[in-house]
A and B are shown apart, each in its own frame.
Chain A
């Protein structure tokens, strides 16, 4: 049997001594705050490495602006070319239709003249093919 078992007061004292209140050591709060700050900055660093954070670099930012400007310029030129081609195509179509109308009208005139002449010609006399009767 140990000494504490022999004397209950000694056990009580030992427990009281173990759970007694003690003040935090000097600088403990500062250490905790410093650790928290360190963890926050590590999280921020992780965010910066995402694709959006690339634009935070000036060279990349200007490259992106230049790329967007060039793409817009190319798009505008392409659209204007498309519009111009469409207008030229419409004009060519009108020319084509005009040419066909003129050709059609002149063919019609030729047909009209031929029909006019055919209808105004005297009908050919039917030949008398009946055999003459001998007298």
Chain B
């Protein structure tokens, strides 16, 4: 390595430091980040603690949805979302998703939901980070035929708040319908990895 390159290294590290910090919890491989160029629609949300705190100041206390959101994010340390919607199927590889999943196969993370559907190709994984028997973080990896979504929520989250997250914000609560067709999906619930 030349002397000039050696001198540049600290500057490069200094510039890359915020990005390293930001990606501390959910590290997306370069292959996934490049999917934005192929995607029809891309959503990228990076909100750290101060940003969340600031944004929550603008939530209206009169709006019930925003009031719940303010309560939900009050103690959170960060919300990071990447969502790619594609025009055609097969825009991303299963290996790309597997690299991300592998990051959460550690003792501190528990995979509470893992759905592999051969029928419609919808694969969903939900990982919880537990600290002192309380949820300290959630990662959702949803790999659908034309959509790939990564959600990382960092911070303490109560179970009732989690229910709010699943059933509010314009999304109706799930009502179970009896299915007559033969199941083609596998589900792991409560699996500890």
Contact = CB atoms under 8 A, between A and B. Distances in A.
A121 B69 CA distance: 36
Given A89-B55, A113-B122, A114-B113, A95 B47 contact: yes
B176 A89 contact: no
9 contacts: A92-B47, A96-B55, A103-B165, A104-B171, A109-B142, A111-B166, A117-B186, A117-B187, A119-B176
Interface string A81-99: 0000010011011011111
B181 A120 contact: yes
Interface in A3-55: none
A95 B51 CA distance: 11
Contacts of B58: 86, 89-90, 92-93
Interface of B: 43, 45, 47, 51-52, 54-59, 65-66, 69, 72-73, 79, 81, 83, 113, 115, 117, 122, 124, 126, 138, 140, 142, 149, 151, 153, 162, 165-171, 174, 176-179, 181-183, 185-187, 189
The B interface is mostly helix, strand or loop, or mixed, namely mixed
A115 interface: yes
Interface of A: 86, 89-90, 92-93, 95-121
